[in-house]
C-alpha cells in the first residue's frame, strides 16, 4: 500500500509540473501561414519577435493550398530546400520545439519562400529566462489573444482533468 501511495504522489507532482509548462502558438496568429503581401515580407519575423518560445512549446501552421517544411539554416536563407519531400500539405501542421536552438521553416513553394513566407524560431531552454528585450510589443489583436487563450485554457482543462483522475485513482487505492 505504501508503494501505491508513493506512486500517486509522484504522478501528482509530475502532473502539477506539467500544468502551464508548454504553449501552443499559431504561426501568423489570425493570418495563419500564407504568402505575405508584397509590402509585408517581414511579417513572420515580426510575428516571431512577439514571443519567447521555449522547449516543449508547439507551433501550429494553418494554411490553404500551401505547405510548410522544416529546413536547415542554409535552406532558409536560400529558399532552395524541399525538406527531402517531407513538406506537410494537409492544411494544418504541428511542430514540437523539443530542444533548445533555432528552427527554420519555409513554404514548400519556393516562390512563396522567396517572397517572405518563412520564419526562424529560437526555442529557449525551459529554465532559461528570456534575454532583456526593448520596449514591450503592442497588444495582440483580439482574435490572436482569444485563440491563444483558448489553447491555453484547453491545455489547462486537460491537465486539471488528468490531475483529478490521478487523485481519484489514488484515493481508490487507499
In this prediction the pTM is 0.63
**Could you state, in order of their start, the residue ranges of all structural domains in the chain?**
23-148
71's grid cell: 529546413
**Nearest alpha carbon to residue 47 among 99, 115, 117:** 117
pLDDT of residue 10: 52
The confidence score (pLDDT) of residue 85 equals 55
- Within 10 angstroms of residue 131's Cβ, the number of other Cβ atoms is 8
Secondary structure of the chain: what % helix, strand, coil (to 5)? Answer: 40, 20, 40
pLDDT block averages, 10 residues each, the chain of length 174: 50 48 90 93 95 96 92 92 69 94 94 95 81 52 46 54 57 60
CATH architecture of 23-148: Sandwich (2.60)
What integer pLDDT is reported at residue 144 of this predicted model?
Answer: 47
pLDDT of residue 126: 81
| pLDDT at 89 (0 to 100) | 77
Amino acid at each position: 500500500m505504501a508503494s501505491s501511495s508513493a506512486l500517486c504522489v509522484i504522478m501528482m507532482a509530475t502532473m502539477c509540473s506539467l500544468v502551464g509548462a508548454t504553449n501552443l502558438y499559431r504561426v501568423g496568429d489570425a493570418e495563419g501561414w500564407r504568402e505575405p503581401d508584397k509590402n509585408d515580407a517581414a511579417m513572420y519575423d515580426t510575428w516571431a519577435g512577439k514571443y519567447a518560445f521555449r522547449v516543449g512549446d508547439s507551433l501550429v501552421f494553418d494554411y490553404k493550398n500551401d505547405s510548410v517544411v522544416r529546413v536547415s539554416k542554409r535552406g532558409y536563407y536560400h529558399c532552395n530546400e524541399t525538406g527531402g519531400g517531407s513538406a506537410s500539405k494537409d492544411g494544418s501542421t504541428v511542430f514540437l520545439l523539443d530542444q533548445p536552438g533555432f528552427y527554420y521553416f519555409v513554404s514548400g513553394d519556393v516562390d512563396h519562400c522567396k517572397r517572405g513566407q518563412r520564419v526562424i524560431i529560437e526555442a529557449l531552454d525551459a529554465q532559461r529566462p528570456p534575454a532583456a528585450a526593448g520596449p514591450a510589443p503592442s497588444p495582440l489583436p483580439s482574435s490572436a489573444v482569444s485563440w491563444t487563450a483558448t489553447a491555453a485554457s484547453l491545455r489547462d482543462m486537460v491537465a486539471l482533468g488528468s490531475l483529478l483522475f490521478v487523485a481519484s485513482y489514488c484515493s481508490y487505492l487507499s
